Amino acid sequence: MELCIQVEHLTKRFQTQIAVNQLSFEVKKGEIFGILGHNGAGKTTTIEMLLGLQNPDEGKIRLLKKDGASIDKIIFERIGVQLQASSYQNNIRVRELCEEMASLYQDPADYHELLEQFELSPFAHHFVAHLSQGERQKLSILLALLPKPEMLFLDEATTGLDAAARRAVWDRLLLWKEKGTTILLTTHYMEEAAYLCDRILLLKQGNAIMEGTVADIAKGFASLEEAYLHYMEVTKL
């Protein structure tokens, strides 16, 4: 079994606050792994450390079999990243942004096809700044897919999408998974986690409180959401 991500005892402090505390987990090649937790649980900080955007205070990271938190050019070509706080240049059109981003990769996906798949073709000539929140969100996922990534990081990727668009994105992601892409995502939507994730990690105040399949976690509860609320409430740290 090949591992794409190995994290051991990852810890991040901001002043006196411990944002991520001794976090350890592994993500296998080809799986969709979800990190769930309340606002401020440490999900984005964890992803940012994996991507080398934040320096951990403690712990080890192995990404695509390479040590260290820094993303070199080879790793960069193999991963796709969608972050919550993506901001784009002013006065750039959707098509121009796609071209600019595609030029960073040796063998990018065809962005025209992706625009079609995400129902963004009608906006190709629009300024990114004029897109609706949901359209911009879909664009950020599309851009993450440009490298034809082996490994995809999605931080609350479907927040702001309507129900049909969200479902369409889920099905797209499952197709990428079928092609072998490993996905690490965060979400506040339990339905999304249940639909997509092979395994889930529950994070509370930076601590892992449970990890397993949706069935493992939801066992004994009416739904994943019921289980989530229960474990978040009762787990003492």
Applying CB under 6 A, the residues found at the interface with ligand ATP are 14, 19, 37, 39-45
Select 17 or 213, whichever has its Cβ closest to ligand ATP. Answer: 17
Select 47 or 143, whichever has its Cβ closest to ligand ATP. Answer: 47
Closest approach of Cβ 65 to ligand ATP, in Å?
26
Select 42 or 80, whichever has its Cβ closest to ligand ATP. Answer: 42
Q: Where are the alpha helices (DSSP H) in the chain?
A: 43-50, 73-78, 94-102, 111-117, 133-145, 163-178, 190-196, 214-218, 224-234
Select 111 or 228, whichever has its Cβ closest to ligand ATP. Answer: 228
Closest approach of Cβ 39 to ligand ATP, in Å?
3
Give me the residue label for tokens 């192995």: 62
Burial class (CB in 10 A: 0-12, 13-18, 19+), 183: buried
Residue 49 to residues 28, 43, 53: CA-CA distances in angstroms? 18, 10, 6
Closest approach of Cβ 231 to ligand ATP, in Å?
15
Residue 235 to residues 104, 131, 171: CA-CA distances in angstroms? 44, 41, 33
Closest approach of Cβ 69 to ligand ATP, in Å?
15
Select 19 or 97, whichever has its Cβ closest to ligand ATP. Answer: 19
Residues in the chain: 237
Closest approach of Cβ 23 to ligand ATP, in Å?
11
Closest approach of Cβ 110 to ligand ATP, in Å?
32
Select 10 or 196, whichever has its Cβ closest to ligand ATP. Answer: 10
What's the rounded Cα separation, in Å, for the pair 31 and 28?
A: 6
Burial class (CB in 10 A: 0-12, 13-18, 19+), 116: exposed
What's the rounded Cα separation, in Å, for the pair 3 and 114?
A: 28
Closest approach of Cβ 48 to ligand ATP, in Å?
8
Select 11 or 121, whichever has its Cβ closest to ligand ATP. Answer: 11
Cβ-proximal residues to 28 (8 Å cutoff; 6+ apart), any chain: 1, 2, 3, 4, 182
